[in-house]
Amino acid sequence: MSTGRWLLGVLVLVGLPVLAATDIEACPGPLRPGEALGLSRAVAMALCADPQIEAAWRTQLSSQASMEAERSAYWPTLQGTASSGRANRKTRYDGFPEANSSLDARTSSYGLNLNWVLYDFGLRKARVESARQLLNAASSSRVEQIQQVVLDTSKAFYQVQANTALLEARRSIEALAADSLKVTTAKHQAGAGEQADRLQAQTTFEQAQLERVLAEGDLAAAQGALASALHLSPSLPLRLEALDEPQGQEAAFSASVDALMAQARLNHPSVEKARAEWSSSLARADAERAQGRPTVSLYSSYRHDDTPVEQVASRQQIETWTVGVQVSVPIFDGFLARRRTRAAEYEAGAREQDLQQAERSIALSVWRSRQTLDARTRALAISRRLVDSASQSHRVAMGRYKAGVGGIIELLNAQNDLATAQQRRVSSVVDWYTARLQLAADLGQLGQ
């Protein structure tokens, strides 16, 4: 399978939110200077470059080959032998020299041996089933690794968008503080304002500058983390597509939380992997039981010997042909089969507990993620109203201060409330996207 088709299949399988299959460029090339990076391309770059995904893919191929190897036991085995050489044989009889003989000739032989197991009490079937379940586990592990890369890359992408939006908010706050400082300075110079008002506005402006500088540092760190996730240099400047406001998406995952937990127990890759490992251990236990039971085989052999020196004293050609049915019955093996069966049964019991733990763990993760998403969805509407009311309050406070009927404390409080509201709005939007992504990951089907 080509790399492009493989990656397209991966992204469609994962079903990442806001990724359209028609927009996906499989294993995209390097970013052009100034080009905006979208989430779909970021995920594609991370998937193409991640060595653990390549290792998981090769592990799955190895499991596939192992299963095919176990299936080979259903076919007969045919073995050929051939030999050729020179033989010299002398026979002497003391007292009877006339009976002495010698043989100096070429000796050779060739033959074929066929063996075909007809019945083995389910030994081959159990081994194939065990290998098939290990293949399923490897496949689920690869899907889980893919989804983890998608989740980590998307979170890093959202973090950069969050820090970008927060920096814009910090700059807006700094601009508001600069306006307040300008107004208080003008009133003080005109003799209509207090020096204390101007100093308070100056302090607020400098605090806004400090917060903006810290936000720039946080953005640079987040961009470096995203670049590293894409296997790029952390110093590479990145420009991302803008984070859209959720529009009518709050109703996603509207099914009941019980239904979501049941769905995750069935479909999450970690649960599927644990289930496959348990099934494989059960099949191995069946194989160990069958190992100590009889086998019925068809056997056949053909052999042609030209002057076998150990059998004849003169040049002869001997042909031998045999065919028959062989029954092999284990009688005593030092309790080996019984002990191996017991060990396999204990292993199956341990894998069953792993499966139950995986189901409980993923159900709890779905419950937490659903509650978090519900809270983030409600916070979206509240944060939107909070920004509207804080903006209106700031406009009123600024007007009152300019008119001389309001104080500096009222203006700065309104300014701080607006700054807090803007920051919480940014956090609410990013937190909602992150919570939605986390719930999709916990369900094992990102974007569905």
Going by the DSSP 8-state scheme, the letter that residue 89 receives in this structure is E
On whether residue 186 sits in a domain, the answer given is yes
Rounded CA separation 55/50 (Å): 9
Q: Angle formed by the axes of helices 123-189 and 39-49, to 10°? A: 130
The answer to whether 386 and 428 have CB atoms below 8 angstroms apart is: no
Same domain, 321 and 348: no
Any residues with CB less than 8 A from the CB of 104 and at least 6 apart, and which?
87, 88, 89
Q: What is the CATH number of the domain that holds 298?
A: 2.20.200
Based on the fold, state whether residues 143 and 217 are members of the same structural domain.
yes
Query: What string of DSSP letters covers 214-263?
Result: HHHHHHHHHHHHHHHHTTS-TTS--EEPPPPPP-S-TTSS-S-HHHHHHH
Rounded-to-integer distance, Cα 380 and Cα 436, Å: 13
Containing structural domain, residue 93: 76-119+294-329
Instruction: Answer whether 146's CB lies under 8 Å from 445's CB.
Output: no
Structural domain includes residue 448: no
CATH number of the domain enclosing 379 = 1.20.1600.10
Residues 408 and 304 in one domain: no
Longest CA span, the chain: 151
> For residue 127, what are the contacts with CB-CB under 8 A and spacing of at least 6?
70, 73, 283, 287
Q: Please state the domain count of the chain.
A: 2
pLDDT in tens, the chain (448 residues): 444 444 444 444 334 443 433 344 467 777 777 778 888 888 888 888 888 888 999 999 999 999 999 999 999 999 999 988 887 777 777 878 777 777 777 888 889 999 999 999 999 999 999 999 999 999 999 988 888 888 888 888 988 888 888 888 888 888 888 887 887 887 777 766 577 777 877 888 888 889 889 989 998 998 898 988 888 888 887 888 777 666 655 555 556 677 778 878 888 888 999 999 999 999 999 999 998 889 999 999 998 887 676 666 666 778 889 999 999 998 988 888 889 899 999 999 999 999 999 999 989 888 888 888 888 888 888 888 898 898 888 888 888 877 777 777 787 788 788 888 888 888 888 888 888 888 888 888 764 4
